[in-house]
Every structure is written in C-alpha cells, then in structure tokens.
Structure 1
Amino acid sequence: MNTKTNYQRTEYPRPQYYRESWQNLNGIWKFAFDDQNEGEKNHWYQNPNFSTDIQVPFTYETEASGIGEQTFHPYVWYHRSFQIPEKETEKQVILRFQASDYLTKVWVNDSYIGSHAGGNSAFSFDITNAVEGTEINKLVVKVEDSHSCIQPRGKQRWTDENFSCWYVQTTGIWQTVWLEFLQEKSIENVKITPDLDANSVAFDYKFKGKMEENDIVETTITFKGKIIRQFSFAPERSTMHMETDLLTDLSEWKIHTWSPENPNLYEVTFRMKTDGKLTDEVTSYFGMRKISIKDGQVLLNNRPIYQKLLLDQGYWPDTMLTPPSDEAMLEDIEKTIEMGFNGVRKHQKLEDERFLYWCDKKGLLVWSEMAATYEFSDTAVDNFTKEWLEIIQQHYNHPSIITWVPFNESWGLPNIFTDKQQQAFTESIYYLTKSIDPNRPVIVNDGWEHTISDIITLHDYEESGSAFIKRYGDKDRILGNKIPHDKKKYAFAQGYEYNGQPVIISEYGGIAFQDGKGWGYGNQVASEEDFLHRYLDITNAIKSIPYINGYCYTQTTDVQQEVNGLLKKDRIPKIGLNKIKAVNDTIV
C-alpha cells in the first residue's frame, strides 16, 4: 500500500452503548472497481479475486485508503476473511456497519445476507447462520453509489469536478465495520430520556429474544464511581419503560446537570440475567440537561443560553469525511472551545459517534444536520425519511445534541417558498422528529423560507456591521416577510409567519484570506488586521441586535477548494486562537 500515513481506526465505534465482546474488522481488505456492474452476474461474491488493497474504513477517494483515486466509480467491492474467537462460538454473530455510502450488499460464505440503503446511518445484520464456527469465514461487500440528487448526499459533488462548496464524493465504507457477539437473549437498545424538572431519568428498553419469567434486567446508575440508583425488573415483553429519580445525598448538589461549563455525565450499566447467570452487559451514560424555548429564547437547564457556534463540516485532508483518529476529533473540539465557541453546527454530515462522545465529554453543543438531497420527488421523500428516522433513533441519547436540523437552505426543496407539497413534506418531517424526540428543538429549512420551525435561523454573509444593523434593526420587516433578510431570500415560506421563536444567525462570516485559488464568501482579505477588523465588526453587529440569540460562524477549517476556515486543512490556526476568543467574549 502507498498510504501517506498509516491511519488505523481501532477504537470501539459506539461508546454510547459499549460491550466487551466485539471484534474490529477495520484494516486491510481486498478491493475492486466494477464499473460495468458485472460482479453480481459473474458471482464475484463466490470468488472475490480482488487484487487491490484498501485500508477500511477510508474510501478509495482518500489518500489514507492507499488508493487515492477521485474519479467516480459507481460500483465497488470489498473482501476480507475473519475468524470467530473460540470463546464466542456459541453466541449470535452480529455484523455492524457504522456507515457505508450508499447501497450496501453483504455476502458471508457465499450466502446473501441483506442490504441497506443510506450513506449516513448505522446498520447491522445477524450472520449467525452463515458463519462456520472457528473456521475462516469469507465476507464480501458490494457498495453501489451514484450521482443521483434524490439520495441524501450532503456536500458530496454530483459532477466530475468540485464546484462552489461541493467536494469530492465519498463512496463505500467510510466508518468502522465490526462484529459483536451476543447471547440468544440480549438488550438490543435503551433509549435514555432525562427529565431535569422532575430530577428523574426514563429508560425505554428493547430486548432481543423471547423474554421469560427467569429473566431479570438490572440497571445501575453511578456518578464518579458512586452508586446513585440500582433497580431490577423481570421484562414482561420485548419493550419496557422504567423511570427513576436521581436525587441523592451523596452530593451537596443533589443532582448533577450537564452543560458546556460542567459536562457532568452519569454512568449506567445494564445487565440481563437468566436464572442468575449473566447473559448480556452494556455500559452507557447520559447527561441531565434540558433544552427548551421560552419568550423568544433558547434555554439550557431553564436558563437562557447565547449560542456561539462554528459551522463544522468534518473534513480532513487525507481521510475526507472519515475522522483519522480520536486525537484528530479531540483536536477540533478542543480548538473550537479554545476559540470561545460553545458549540458546532455539524453541516451536512452525520458525524462519527466517537466525535459525539467527545462532545458529550467535553461539553460542546451540537446541532445535528441531515445530509441533503437536491431534487424533490416521491423517491427523494422516501430516501430521506427512512434514513432520517434511523439517525434520530441512533443519536438520541447524546446530551451534546441540542437541536435537529433536517433541512438546509431549501436544498432538495427548490420551490418551498410557494409549493404546498414541499411545504407539507417539511411539516411531516418536523412532526415525525417530534414523535421520536419531543424534547429537542427542530429547525425546518435552516437559513430561510421556514415553514414550521422551533428556531428561526437566517444565513447572511454581509461584510459590513453597519449594513447588518440597518437591515436587522427593524425586526418586523425581517420576520414579517416584508423584505428579504439577505437581499435575496425571505425568512418564511408563503403561508407561514413568525410566532415568537428565537432567532439565530446560523451562517455568517466565511472570511477568506487571499490565496489566488480557493474561495470564501464575499471579498477576501489581505492581512490578519483586515480579517480581525471585519470579523469583529460583523460579529459585534450580530450581538447588538437584541432579538438575535446567537450565531454560527463559517467555518472551522478549510475544506478542499474552500478556504474560509479559521484553521487551515492541517488545523494550523490562521489567526491566534486567543484573538478569536476575544471577539467571542466581547460584550456589546
């Protein structure tokens, strides 16, 4: 292989739901392009004689994969062998993919296992009946991708070349692949819902296998090693709901809340026992925090919070959308905090769960945004809805996620301003999201042309602070749809109106230094002095508008041809981090 750096992803991929019995399948696989789509017809899954090596989970477009070819190939194949450890041979074998883009098909020992459509959500297959004990097992994966704009693709280009702020596509496996070994009965999932006002937490359990009278589920909640609560129950059906209060005399605070200043996490262990014998054990965690809206403000734990966010697209030079390591994710998070921001808007990307884990640990707020389609049709609605539903359920337990953002800038909804059908689609996604998660705000069509939305977010790359103040000084003109908020787009789609929601400028800035090649928003600056003058001017202008509750600066890092990051692609700061922090900390 000819990798620039030998990147490896060896960490447990899902720290929010950890088991000890697992096997990492990242590493060197065999790989092949199949541009004529002849592999299935010719039974490549039976004789995968692929000659190229690829480092999973990095896609063939990346340098880290060992291939580094950015030409689009619609059909790609992977092959590797694996063995089941002897101690796990009597258990069920679950094959898990954290993400693979876009249609993934799987064969084990020549048997077709199944498929999954969607490039951002995790998925799994029970391969127990296809594996052969401790023998060498053959795993073959085919991934189909396309330039289609009716599949959620985010910032991936659908042409042969990059353009504007759309980048090289991501094809195939791009997050960790792994095996998990389970008993016939196990705890499939636990949805954790904190209720700060009641000082309690609710657990919604989902079990795999037939529950019987001799089965017991134990739950132990601890904080920094001290047991806060323990309870057990006999599951009467495949799903159960349990609640417990968390008030304790072990701490003078009685309860520990989660916030950017104090990202306290409760640890929780779930155990299933049959006739007293342990059959499953999962460790997790949760944060006691509340997101709410009152009187035109966003509240965190019943107190107003002014959000200072960075637009974060999560790209790295050698690995693109796949984070190269835990250390790389931590570097981005820590530098974001060091610059005085309290959160990120994860733009057009559903981030690696380990990134969310570190945000939970470090106290960085996250707006979780769906990858967009770029056309509207029945099929696009179907593709989007299925994947979005999976994502909400999978990421629900992360306390750092405080906002859901299913749509951005009318992408995939080109006529939403007047089209009742497209408007109805956004309403359906809003209510679908609320049916799974009634506790987080949902932003519908971030940027402009809102339909129903818990927060009104506006994008404006105005360079002059005085011009910004003049435009936004009259709240009724902007939010009454009397003028376009950014000279082009209105705040609301026709038929919708402002109902007192919080207002946030969720994209602004985008200031780029002159480099003769890349681009940013508006005029590029020639010096650090010019940058800081414009940055301070426009940021202070936003802060000076009383009804605006926060902002999101574009962006964390340079990304491919886009050079408006506060950090370069290699994460070297363009401006002293303390100087950016000083602007964020300025009180206007």
Structure 2
Amino acid sequence: MKKSHLILFGLLLSFTVNATNDIPRPEYPRPQFERTEWINLNGTWTYEFDLSNSGKNRKLFEAKSFNNTITVPFCPESKLSGVSYTDFINQMWYQRSLSIPAEWQGKKILLNFGAVDYFAEIFIDGEFVGNHCGGSSSFSIDLTRSVKPGQTHNLVVFVIDDIRSGAQAVGKQSPQVSSFACFYTRVTGIWQTVWLEAVSPYGLKAVETRPDIDGEQLFITPEFYQSSNDKTMEIILSDGNRQVAQKTVKCINGSNLVIPIKKMKLWSPEDPFLYDITYRIKDEKGKVIDEVKSYTGMRKVHTSNGMIYLNNEPYFQRLVLNQGYYPDGIWTAPSDEALKNDILLCKAAGFNGARLHQKVFEERFHYWADKLGFITWGESANWGMNISNEIASRNFLSEWTEILIRDRNHPSIITWTPFNQPSVNMFPSTFVRLISDTYRLTKAIDPTRLVNDIAGDIHFTTDIWNFRNYESDPTRFSLRLKSDNNYQHNQPLFVGEFGGVVWAEGQERNNSWGYGDMLTNEEGFYERLESYINAILFANNITGFCYTQFTDIEQEKNGIYYYDRRPKLNMERIKAIFEKIPSRPQKEKKE
C-alpha cells in the first residue's frame, strides 16, 4: 500500500473509538443546541418483531420486556445492532426502563429521538403518550405528566415501516428482498440516538439564527416553552474566550433580535470560523434556570447572473455524492469520529463539499461539516413515494418542514434539494403541485439558502439548473455539457451528477454495478476522470459539479473509496485532478 494510502487508512482506525464504551454513540446528539442535564438512552433494549400485525391485540404496549435484545441506535438490519435481520420488517416493538433523576423535580422531562423510521408510537407504563410520522426527522415527546422524578418507568416504542406502501419517503432502501442496482439494505425503527433531557418550564425551546454579513449583524429568533415578561434571556456571542457581543431581552415568543458584530469574521470552507453562542434564561431574581450552548457561522450564499456566490464572491463547488451508508451500521455511523473522517476523506480527494443524497444526515455530521469547512446540499429521502399519492405528499411536507427547521442554522448547508429524479416520464398534476408547494415552503422557512427543486434533468421551480451527465465517452460527455444549456432565467448551470465510473479489483469486480463500462486499469481511471474535469473547466458557464460517488455501497462499485473507506486509488492524483478547477476564480496579478 502506498504511503498516501496508509495515511488515509490511519484515519479509519478511530472508527472503533466507541468499542470500549458501555454506551454506543455517547456524544451529545444535538451539538448546536446543547444542554448539560441529559441521559443517553442508547445501549441494550429488548425488542420483538410484529410480522403478523397482532401486537396491539396482544397488548405489547404493556410489556415489561421482550425476548430479544438489540443495541440502539442501530437498526435491526445492521450488524452493530446485534440482530442482522435483513428481510422486511413492517412492524416491531422496543422496550427499556427509564429511571428519572430525583433532581429533575419541577422540570419538563423530554424524551428525544434523533430519528425513527418510519411511524412511531410511544407508551409509558402501558399508556400512550405521543407519536411521530417521518423516518428522517427528529422529534420530542413531553413526558412530564407521565413520569415522576425519583422513580423508574417502562418505555415501549411501537414502529410501523411499510416501505412498499408508496405513502412514505424511503430513499435508497431496497423494495425487493435483497439489494440490487442502486438500492441497498433497508433501515427499520430507531436509527439515531435516543435521550432524556430536563428543561425548565420557561426554557428555550428552539432558536433560529440568520447571518447578515452585508449588515454585519446576526438575527436571532428564539422560541420559549412559555413566554414570560418576568424572565429574561441573556445572549453572549464569543470568539474563543473573547466576548464579541451581549444582549438581554424578555422571554417573549416572536421577537426578532439583532446582534451587531464588529470586525466580523466570515465562515468559508477555507476558513470555517464559528462564533460560540450561550443562551441563558434567568428568573426574576437573576438565577439561571436554563442554559444552552450553540454556535453560528457568518456566511452568505446567493445567485446572480448565472453564478453562485459565497460571501459575495463566485464560488465553484466541487461536490461528491455522499449517501451516508456504513457496512456495519447502514444509515447509522459506527462512531462520531467516523462522521468526521468521512469529511476528511472527501477533502483529501479534492472535494470542497458534498451532495447528501437520498438520506437526511444526523446533526453530528453537520457539526463536523461546520467545524471542518465542508459545504453540503441537504436532500430528502423522497424515493419510494408514489408521486401521485396525496397522502404521500402530506407526509412528505410535514417531514420536510421538520428537517428544515432542525438543520437551518448550520452554515455548511448552502442548498436544499427536496427531491431526487423521479423514475417516470409523465408527471401527474399532484406532483407538479407538490414541487411548487415545497419550493415555496422551503423559501418561507429558510429564505437564506438556494433551492434545487429536483436533482435530475427536469425542473419546475428552482434556483439552480442542475442536470446529470453520465456519458462515459469523454467526447460525448463534452458535447452533452453544451447541449444542456437550455436553462431558464439565467440560473446557474450545475453538473448535478457525473462519473459513476466502476472501478474494482479482484473479487470486488464480481456482481458490480455502476455507470458505463468497467475500467480494467488504474491509469485509465485517471485519464477518464481528467477528461471529464477538463471538459467542465473549458465549458466556462458551469458553476459546479457533483461526482458520483464517495464510497462503494454494497453491490454498487463506483466510489473512489471502498465501502469500508479504504482508498482505491492514488488520492494525491485524484485530488490534483479535481482541484484543476479552483474554488474561487484566480485573480489576475497587477503589474
């Protein structure tokens, strides 16, 4: 193995960082809204599959335990769950006990789920306490009236996940028993961290931050569990140990606060500076009753005259398609360090960002993208929806709303992509309406980012004219770039997907899937890749690209890394090829 390969492979050693921990994925799951009083509920739960749909008749919501055990937050299809059951699981039940600390008396007690695929019902001591619909969005259940501090209670979670119903978004989960082509192992039930949290009844429920780099200010819109004229919120903006700004306001919902920032530092992939934010809620006597740690990045993204701008300068995006699958955890990264290393591996290959494809990534990934300087396009897992089904549309809009609200404060996300290319030629009116409604909804919730309505070759309402080009022949690839200039309203032209070159060695070549013919030698791969990049470079009007893809996934062998993140090729050469197109235009030197 080459020296460069050894260096990159060294990054992978930390994937097993949590192997000696009693609790898997022990880190706080919401790094942009962090409290100190919380309990991680990951670890061993009991479970039962309900393949006959008889669990409610058997009153399984009252069960004190089930016969089988599973390691949460890993889905039952994954190896890390300890189950590895990969057939269809339309329904299942989870159980564990909850011990509520006595010192949480007088506080709101929240049960938080990072994500449960797809529909979840929550029971405490046999009583229904709440539900949630949506396999990719986070949610909280208020347990305050159902539990008592100092006591132990029984938690049961019932899950329904019918990916063949057409009524839900499933992404790349296989609708057949086994994986095939670009469809992979399914994900059922809990697949992100579960945790308990104690919060003041007057605590901070959520906050929206909107940077304004032109006005050198930060807009903050807080939401409290209860408004109060008697309570105050102190906001402290810091640069390391140096306080940059401070503001104290009444705890009233609907306030739009302005924080001036002098000598403002900007966030960019080249310099990912982040300001720390502390929110403190104080009672009438000045006692702190709630404290939340957060951060923000000051940056701006917009389009003008067919260009995409970052911080008021043209910025060329060299993205890679990242589907966020792991051999042992499926949708769930084995460790927090694995999320970080995925970004480092992408940067080592010459990418300055990623299109997060057909999966909503967990918040810890966005944290590392913010911290390391890695731009992303956020995308739903819309495949699997029947695009003419109005119930599917209703389910999608509510889930997409939750996704936007959860992730809109992350500076690394610069574009929203609600939909990937539907596999149909005719579009029913319900789908066209859904596209338009989703665009307007996205802009209403987050007007600061670009919206690419459909990642594919057709658009209805969009800020970016994105198209795919999987021509394997370099000449035809170049001609296709010119023929796809049929965009409207002077929108930026973006090569949304290209490459997908199948490259594998030895046994990896068997049963491989990808785009175009399989190359037989390494040098041929570099030559073809460089021909693609040269064509994009000389096209002049292309504002960015997304290369398919980051890693192999199961039978799909078109990644630049193997599924286990080992490098396939000389990454210095790969990096040099992709970086032939600089992120920012090179300025002419003055004589």
2:197 counterpart (164, 171, 180): 180
Which amino acid counterpart does residue 289 of structure 2 have in structure 1? Answer: T
Which amino acid counterpart does residue 549 of structure 1 have in structure 2? Answer: T
1:512 counterpart (497, 502, 510): 502
Aligned pairs (5 A) from 1:279-358 = 279-358=289-368
Which amino acid counterpart does residue 478 of structure 1 have in structure 2? Answer: D
Equivalence for 2:536: 542
Aligned pairs (5 A) from 1:386-425 = 386-411=398-423, 415-416=426-427, 419-425=428-434
Question: Aligned to 1:214, what secondary structure does the other structure show?
Answer: strand
Equivalence for 2:275: 266
Equivalence for 2:9: none
Equivalence for 2:469: 460
Equivalence for 1:364: 374
Q: What TM-score do the two structures reach when normalised by structure 2?
A: 0.92
Equivalence for 1:246: 261
| Per-residue Cα deviation, 1:534-554 (whole angstroms, up to 9, x for no partner) | 111112212221111111110
| Per-residue Cα deviation, 1:177-224 (whole angstroms, up to 9, x for no partner) | 00010112111011000001001000001011241x321111000012
Equivalence for 1:12: 28
1:524 counterpart (515, 518, 526): 518
Q: Distance in 1 between matches of 2:250 and 2:454?
A: 44
Which amino acid counterpart does residue 169 of structure 2 have in structure 1? Answer: P
Equivalence for 1:374: 385
Which amino acid counterpart does residue 385 of structure 2 have in structure 1? Answer: Y
Give the Å deviation of 1:20.
Answer: 0.4
Question: Aligned to 1:333, what secondary structure does the other structure show?
Answer: helix
Give the Å deviation of 1:241.
Answer: 1.2
**With CA pairs under 8 Å and 6+ residues apart, which has the higher RCO, 1 or 2?**
2
2:219 pairs with 1:202 = yes
Equivalence for 2:232: 216
Aligned residues: 555
Q: Distance in 1 between matches of 2:65 and 2:368?
A: 40
1:232 counterpart (244, 248, 253): 248
Q: Structure 1's 562 and 23: CA in aligned 2 closer, same or farther, altered over 3 A?
A: same
Is residue 101–residue 151 contact of structure 2 (8 Å, CA) maintained in 1?
A: no
Question: Aligned to 1:149, what secondary structure does the other structure show?
Answer: coil
2:144 pairs with 1:134 = no
Equivalence for 2:485: 479
Q: Distance in 1 between matches of 2:522 and 2:227?
A: 65
2:88 pairs with 1:72 = yes
| Per-residue Cα deviation, 1:154-177 (whole angstroms, up to 9, x for no partner) | 111122122210111100000000
Give the Å deviation of 1:332.
Answer: 0.7
The alignment-based identity, stated in percent, is 38
Equivalence for 2:176: 159
Which amino acid counterpart does residue 577 of structure 1 have in structure 2? Answer: M
Question: Aligned to 1:155, what secondary structure does the other structure show?
Answer: coil
Give the Å deviation of 1:71.
Answer: 0.8
Q: Distance in 2 between matches of 1:511 and 1:30?
A: 43
Is residue 271–residue 280 contact of structure 1 (8 Å, CA) maintained in 2?
A: yes
Question: Aligned to 1:129, what secondary structure does the other structure show?
Answer: coil
| Per-residue Cα deviation, 1:96-145 (whole angstroms, up to 9, x for no partner) | 00100000010112221111010000001100111132122111101111
Question: Aligned to 2:70, what secondary structure does the other structure show?
Answer: strand
Give the Å deviation of 1:240.
Answer: 1.6
RMSD: 1.5
Question: Aligned to 2:195, what secondary structure does the other structure show?
Answer: strand
Unaligned stretches of 5+ residues in structure 2: 1-17, 583-591
Q: Distance in 2 between matches of 1:422 and 1:34?
A: 33
Which amino acid counterpart does residue 391 of structure 1 have in structure 2? Answer: I
Give the Å deviation of 1:421.
Answer: 3.8
Give the Å deviation of 1:420.
Answer: 4.1
| Per-residue Cα deviation, 1:305-335 (whole angstroms, up to 9, x for no partner) | 0100000000110100001111111111001
Q: Distance in 2 between matches of 1:386 and 1:587?
A: 39
Which amino acid counterpart does residue 175 of structure 2 have in structure 1? Answer: W
Aligned pairs (5 A) from 1:52-131 = 52-131=68-147
Question: Aligned to 1:479, what secondary structure does the other structure show?
Answer: coil
| Per-residue Cα deviation, 1:484-524 (whole angstroms, up to 9, x for no partner) | xxxxxxxxxxxxx6110001111100111250212111101
Give the Å deviation of 1:6.
Answer: 7.3
Instruction: Point out 4+ residue stretches in structure 1 off by more than 6 angstroms.
Output: 4-7
Is residue 410–residue 449 contact of structure 1 (8 Å, CA) maintained in 2?
A: no
Give the Å deviation of 1:445.
Answer: 1.1
Q: Structure 1's 101 and 130: CA in aligned 2 closer, same or farther, altered over 3 A?
A: same
Question: Aligned to 2:169, what secondary structure does the other structure show?
Answer: coil
Is residue 106–residue 115 contact of structure 1 (8 Å, CA) maintained in 2?
A: yes
Give the Å deviation of 1:246.
Answer: 0.2
Q: Distance in 1 between matches of 2:288 and 2:126?
A: 34
Q: What TM-score do the two structures reach when normalised by structure 1?
A: 0.92
Q: Distance in 1 between matches of 2:362 and 2:484?
A: 37
Give the Å deviation of 1:41.
Answer: 1.6
Equivalence for 2:4: none
Which amino acid counterpart does residue 278 of structure 2 have in structure 1? Answer: T
Question: Aligned to 1:238, what secondary structure does the other structure show?
Answer: coil
Give the Å deviation of 1:587.
Answer: 4.9
